[in-house]
Structures are given as structure tokens and as C-alpha cells.
Chain A
Amino acid sequence: MSVDVTKSKTRNRFKPKISRRVLLDLVLVTAGIAAFFVFPNSLGFMTRILIMIIMVLSLDLVLGYAGVASLGHAALFGTGAYAAGMFAVYASANPLLGLVVGAVAGAVIAFVSGLILMRASGLTLLMLSIAVAQILFEVVNSERDLTGGSDGLLGIDMDPILGIYAFDFFGRTGYWYALIVLVLVFILLRIVVASPFGLVARGIHESHERMRAIGTSVYWRLVGIYTLAGGIAGIGGALSAQVTELVSLESLGFNLSAEAMIMLILGGTGRLYGAIFGTVIFMTVHHTAASIDPFNWLFVIGGMVLFVVYFVPEGFMGLPARLGKHLGLRK
């Protein structure tokens, strides 16, 4: 009953993709390790990049894979940060326990808010996601005794990781800690997006109706995806609290949500690597441009976003393919 359909292309994308990915993964991990030695005086900044990558990866799961546009992702990150920070101040300064607390808090807030958010779509969803983050922002701001309000949560003093590796002034421990957590999160996400659960997310992105017709409860799957993303963003937030030993209200702010989305769009959505490259590019350009011109640095970011939107809608990750096509190297 086999049919010879000769018109279609025959390129099989399984094996080459896997080896290319493994190679890229190794390059990225090597770059992460090398950066420690090449830029020993910028460990704090680089740790911030690593933490931000975790948040943007989490957003990629929601936006890039499931197609859910949210401008309130800071709600999940900030919740994780405050939960881990308060846990350290009031309960235990164990970093790994704090990470778990941050993940759970991020997941819980994502689940609860997701019950409402995932019923909406488009502009309504965007507005509701901002509203959730703003509500949390105001709650944290008003509970000064507990959270420090606008002064931020102070007094975090983390124990050494595993009782051995103490956080140091130069940020060496913080960098390795953030890098290892990022690698683990990335591996987890890689497994998730390749699993039937992740494939459902991509299916939902393409067609809600079709996913329903093949037996998927789109709403509950979206809530599940959002909850997982909340857990990951919560880990990012917890890391931020532990490494900087401070949680500020900005971790729940609209700016952070918007920047995360810009980073993802710059890098390219729905491929995980986009979150990594987008974050590195955005934060490096931000850091450099802001140090050159503290007032007009946003022009540079704005220019980059315009470039990507008009010329490389797939993000910088799509640039090699586009260039290759342009130069006739690819069909």
C-alpha cells in the first residue's frame, strides 16, 4: 500500500539536527565556562545575564512554544524572588531549599493566575497579565513589614551551597551556581519541549481548534504549561534573590516583563537558543550602550528591535539561515 509521492522534498531533519544541537550545546556550555576566566571582573553582570536567561527561557515556553503572549512574566519571577528571599530571611538560608521554594511559589502563582489568564486571548490576555503583575507589585509594596516595600527585601544572608561553597564578594560562587542551575533548567526544558507535553504546546500554538478536535483540553494544557513556566521563572527569581542578597520591587515590575519579551523577540521565539542569544545580546548592548550614553541607550535597543522585526522576524537565531538564503547557500 506504499505510495510513491515524488514531488515532496526528501530531507530528513532528525539526525543532523540532533548532532548540530549537541554541538551548539557544548559550545554554549564552554562559552559559559570560558566567560568566567575571560571576564573575571564582570562576574556580577554575567551572573545577571544567566539569571535573566532562565526567565526568558521560561517566557519562551509560554510565548514561543504555546503562543501565549504575556506581559506579566515578572509576576512569576518576582514571586520566586520574594518567596526565596523571605524564606532565607525568616526560615532557612539554605540555597537549594530556597530554589525549591522559589520554584514552588512561581508555579503556584502561575497556576492560580493561569486559571484566569488562560481563558483569555489576545489583547485581553496581555492586559490581564499586566494586571496580575501590578496587583502583586502593589501587594508586596504595601506589606512593608514583611517585604521591605519600596526599599526592597534586605537581610538575606545565604548559607554556603551544600554547606561547602560560600557566596563570595567577587561573585565567583554565584556565577557557577547560576551557570549550573541554568544548564539544568535548559536540559529540563529540552526534554519538556520534545515530549508529547511540549509538542502539544506547539500544536496549540498552531491551532487551538485542531488540538481540541484531536482530544486535547487546550485550557488545562495551557494552565499546565504556564505553571511549569512559573516554576522555572520562580527558580530564576530565587537565584536572583540568593546571588544579589536583595529583592527589589523591580523584580515584579512591568519593565522587567517587557524587557524579557524584547530579549526573546530579539533572539527568536520557540527554539530555546533564542532566549539565550537574545538575552546575551540585549543585556550586553544595554550594558555597553548605557555606559557610553546613559540617557539615549534605548535608541540602540529600539534600533535592534526594528531591525529584527523588519528584516529577521525569526530573531537573531534566524539570521544565519536568512543570510545563507540571501547568499544562495541555502534553498
Chain B
Amino acid sequence: MSTETVLKLANVKAGYGDTQVLNDISFSVAKGERLAIIGRNGVGKSTLLNTLMGLTDMHSGSIALHGQAVEALPAHKRAARGLGLVPQTRDIFTSLTVEENLLAGTKKKSSIEEAYTLFPRLKERRGNSGDQLSGGEQQMLSIARTLMGNPDVVMLDEPFEGLAPVICEMLMEVFEKLADGDHTIVLVEQHTELALEFSDRMLILDNGEIVFHGQTSEVRDNPEILERYIGLGMA
């Protein structure tokens, strides 16, 4: 992991319309780092990722990607600069086939083969439409679709939600590969064990604010941190 800062947020306040969800969020992520964001339901984890992507209303603060301010840019320009979001709702295009989902709007058809290498199952299902896929396949497609944009920072919003353990394991392997390949990963996750297993650093959100920010090893060594902030004990 390098020390180069890829993503930096300073005093970000954001929400939907006039409703503020995030309050004074500041943190930075280094290149190749694996950051996990955890917290109870409804504390603003997804809103944080959506704000980074430019899909919410930002009230104040700044977001810098590779040292350049992006808070005023629309989502598609942030994507072009290297931000990629895999949304919680997956949001694949159900009327399109797997291959069409991957091709939509892309200029580099060669990236499809890379996506198929990462997810061989998608190649087998390339002619099937989005609504004919299982939950796991939909998640693979959503991740592959995001990777088609060649992002430096991959933001994953609860990617394991509702998936069988075998699929979670397989996705975890993919995320490991991405991180090893110099992608910066920001993972929002409800499964604390998975977040602890995967990340280098953790943020705990509560009520739209960062209540804990530290190394994952610190949380592993002091499970009471989880108990204190999200009411979870660790086995």
C-alpha cells in the first residue's frame, strides 16, 4: 500500500434536499488501501458512498480525488476520474443481457474479457437478461459493470447482503485481487466479521458522524469498540 492519498474528504455535510444526513465527515484514503465503513442501519453509510459518487446533495465541505476537487462535478465526471460505485441495490439493467449490461456505454470492448476472467460465471450467462440471474450473479454483474469504467477507487455498498456464504467467499477473493492490483477499496458492510477480515482501516459511523476511526487491528484487539459504538460483541 502506498502513502499517496487518493481520496480526501474534509468537513463534508450532505443529505437529500435540505435534509442533512452526514455531518462533518473528514477522512482520507491512501492508494491501495482497504477501508471499511461500518455502523448500524440508517446511520448514513450508503449516503456517504452516494455523496462521494455525487448522487446526493452536498451542503458543504470538500472532496478531493487524486488531489483535485470533485465535489462540484456530476457523477459521470467523477466516474471518469476514477470513482466506481457498486450500489447496495445492485442496479443492473434487467432488460439487458449480461453482455449488454457490460457493453452499455463502454468504449473498450476488450474490458469485457477482463470482466469475464474475473467472473467466469458471467461469461457462461452472457446471453441471459439481468432478470434471469440469481442474486449472486447480479452482484457479480454489478461489480463487473463498475469495473468496466476502470476505477481507481472501488466503493462497495454492502456487497454480501443476502448472498450465500459460498458466493460471499468468492466475492471476497475478487476484492482481494482488486486490492492487490492497486485498487483502493472502500467497503460499506453490515457483516462486521467480513469487514474486519478484509480491511486495513475502519470507520464507524453513527448518526451521520464518524465516531471511530482507526486501524482494523485496533478493533480486532479491542472488541469493546464494536460493543460501544454499534452494540455488537465479537465471538
Which residues of A line the B interface, CB within 8 A? 1-3, 5, 7-15, 196, 199-200, 202-203, 205-207, 209-218, 221, 270
Contact = CB atoms under 8 A, between A and B. Distances in A.
B95 to A, nearest CB: 6
Interface residues of B, number: 47
Interface string B35-71: 0000000000000000001110000000000000000
Contacts of B79: 212-215
A214 B145 contact: yes
Contacts of B137: 5, 8
Nearest to A194: B100
B233 interface: no
B91 A210 contact: yes
Nearest to A201: B104
B127 A14 contact: yes
Interface string B120-164: 110001111100111011000000011011000000000000000
B197 interface: no
Contact of A206 (B95, B127, B174): B95
Interface stretch (B21-29, B165-173, B201-209, B220-228): B165-173
Given A3-B167, A210-B91, A214-B145, A8 B96 contact: no
B173 A1 contact: yes
A215 B96 CA distance: 18
Interface string B77-109: 101100011010001011111001001111100
B53 to A, nearest CB: 5
5 contacts: A1-B119, A9-B132, A211-B105, A214-B104, A214-B146
A199 B105 contact: yes
Contacts of B128: 8-13
Contact of A13 (B75, B106, B127): B127
Given A199-B103, A202-B95, A203-B96, A215 B167 contact: no
A279 B161 CA distance: 46
A286 to B, nearest CB: 31
Given A14-B97, A203-B104, A214-B105, 20 more contacts: A1-B173, A2-B120, A2-B121, A5-B134, A5-B137, A10-B128, A12-B125, A13-B128, A199-B104, A200-B105, A211-B76, A211-B105, A212-B54, A212-B55, A213-B55, A213-B75, A213-B85, A214-B145, A214-B149, A217-B77
Nearest to A14: B127
A211 to B, nearest CB: 7
Contact of A212 (B76, B93, B104, B146): B76
A14 B98 CA distance: 11
B38 to A, nearest CB: 22
A209 B94 CA distance: 15
Nearest to B133: A8
A200 B107 CA distance: 12
A214 B100 contact: no
B87 A13 contact: no
B105 A215 contact: yes
Contact of A1 (B85, B95, B120, B129): B120
Contacts of A203: 93, 96, 104-105
Nearest to A6: B134
B74 interface: yes
A12 B127 contact: yes
Contact of A3 (B84, B91, B166): B166
Contacts of B85: 213
Given A5-B137, A215-B149, A216-B76, A202 B105 contact: no
B225 to A, nearest CB: 32
Contacts of B105: 196, 199-200, 203, 211, 214-216, 221
A123 to B, nearest CB: 20
A240 B96 CA distance: 35
A3 B166 CA distance: 8
Query: Lowest 3 CB-CB distances: which A-B pairs, in order?
Result: A215-B79, A14-B127, A199-B104
Given A202-B93, A217-B74, A1 B170 contact: yes
A104 B76 CA distance: 29
Given A12-B127, A196-B104, A3 B132 contact: no
Nearest to A195: B103
A199 B98 CA distance: 12
A202 B96 contact: yes
